[in-house]
Structure 1
Amino acid sequence: MSSHFNALPLEVILHILSYLPFEALVAFGGVSRASYRAHILCLRRLRLAVFEKRIHCMISHLQAGWATPEQVGKFAGDEDIRGDYTISIIQPNVKRIDHDAARKPSTKTNEPRSRSQSQQDRSRVQDQMIRMQNRVFTKLVNRYGPSLIKLEFMAYDIDIEGAQALSTKCQHTLRHLALRFEHPHIRDGYMRPSSWLHPAPASTVWNLLIGIGQYQGMGMSGLESLVMERAGITPWQLMMLVRNNPRLTVLKMRTCRGVQPEFLDWLGGVSRDTEEEDFLRTEDKCHVPGENLEVLWLENCHQIVTKSHEHPKDLAHDSCDLGLEWVRGLKNLKSLSLNECMNISSECVDRANQTIWKIDEVVLPYSYHSPDSTIEVDPALL
């Protein structure tokens, strides 16, 4: 029976295998060398979540849109789309013992532990957790990376091992990449609750995805969509990553360190004139790096500031987007989200889009200090 199955055309074999759940697909891959090659080629889209608790996976799946409330009970191995595999891995409980041991002093003493010692212990265990998450990620990418066209990774951060596997195994074939490191619902793990409010620390790990310095020959070059949440990538690293992926049409960034004016000005082809101390558009003089973008989401990024935040109504028609001039260079943009960007005026964004940008879909930022904002209360509750 196995010989008859392997005699089928490869396209037919892959079509049949695409109906299998992940566990059955892996089991099939262990039957023979031919089966192993076929099962690797079959896996084209992979979503991987590595957490400490099952409840963390469930909530993260809901927030990322990986599952609906009706699917939460069976999210561990079922796929909504044929061939779109979602894998959830819970770390072994033995690591919790290491965590508890790390909190205990090494010698018997009645003196309380200093705050710096507790922070060092928490940081050490947090780094250990991130290494474990990336070790799982690396194993899967090393096996299935060359055949993947879409990959999503949900964890606490990426380290050098995970970045190296991603930049070598998925270098030219991967089209859609999502790195989701923001999970504010997790408050009982190794990460401090306040950690989710800010981008991860800056790191040279991102240089592997760019392919610079000692990492020449590595890096991503075929991406069409890129999603990053709570990433520590710097503005310069983000510039290089976008530059190396000219086919990029979707860029979604949330709580990312690299979303700063210097990156956005570069993305929209805007340069600063040091003599006049003003922003000048240069799309007619040079190539605009972000001209192919159709979707740009910049959420919870507080480094973006509108110059007209206080008195938007007093500005001239062509100056209502001061601080956001880079949007003008993104001629193909169809969707722009500035959700939760606290230093941007919603009124300015709305006016600029109506008069200058003309983008089909714009998500306005929150307006925390609007004098006209009111909260309606049901009279029956008073």
Structure 2
Amino acid sequence: MRGILVDDESLALRGLENQLRKLGGIEIVGTYRNPVEALEAAARSKPDVVFLDIEMPEVSGIEAALDFQDLSPSPQIVFVTAYEEYAVKAFELEALDYVLKPCRTERLALTLQRVAERLQATSDTPDELRKGAIRCLGRLQVEVGPNEFLAWRTAKAQELFAYLTLRAGQPVRKDVLVEILWPESDQKKAYTQLYTTIYQLRRTLEAARLPLRIVNSSNSYSLERNGMETDAEQWERQLPSEAEIASLALEDYEEKMILNRGELFEDSGYLWAEHERERLSSLWFHHAKRLAKRHDENNDAIMASTWYNRILQRFPYSEEIYFALMELYARLGERSLVEQHYSRLSAMTQSEYGTEPSAEVQTWYLNWKKE
């Protein structure tokens, strides 16, 4: 195996190199005190493993590890640290291993064994990637197989993935990500959390063998999806235009609409997604209403009421839909259902707005009562 060593302390660097050479089984192709120089060299030498100090003055080992992961093929990372708390962090990052300073020879031997085993396992793993699927409508899920979904290491890893997914491959500056995901943390801690979360996410995606890749470009990150669309994108792309709606078979219209299983990132509470959530919700509302009216025009009262009630489940404060149901039930002679929906509408407007239904609805209801 081929390895490079990165540590800003020259004595520690020299000591680690000597120990590894004595153990054998590894070719040291470079030692560096500057992680930027190490990264440039690694792009040429393509090492199998990088021994990386965590606590460095200019660029932290955690941040440098993310850059090394951008290499192709990406090397295994072994963190080297003098602090136990960083050792715990290394495990959270799913690094191959960590070694506490001062490094013991027998401990390094175990590390080299782990690197060799990982390299063997990697060479035995098929290169083909899974197709996968990204579900954003409803709860965020990444499908990696039949009834098998990606497990998020942390809630922040899930949120970071959601944000990068929504940006559809566009780079997002690191300071923007820090402000959105860790607004209350001090800057140094927030950036460490960002690098940690990026590392976790990369490892998770690599292990799942999905065609998804987080790219670090200058001061930004982006998510390359390599042709993978989200269900939200697929649903919106196949919606009929206004000119196509009238001629589209109802069965086809239904099939297109049921692809939308819920609100964008449902129950996530992501404030940054609110604008897109409202846009997609309004689009669904428009088409669901058109579909219900088409059923009504075809004298299919059951399907019309079904869709109006589906709309009410998502838009429980829509007087327009309450009114549409009342008119539908009135035509069918279902007086009790008209009464029931007017009562529900009145309770809703009083509870939410402190008012009664609109004058138009009240007038219609009073005239209907006289019939």
Q: TM-score range by the shorter chain?
A: under 0.3
Bigger proportion of residues as helix: 2
Q: What is the TM-score normalised by the length of structure 2? A: 0.26
Q: Which has the higher contact order (CA 8 A, sep 6+)?
A: 2
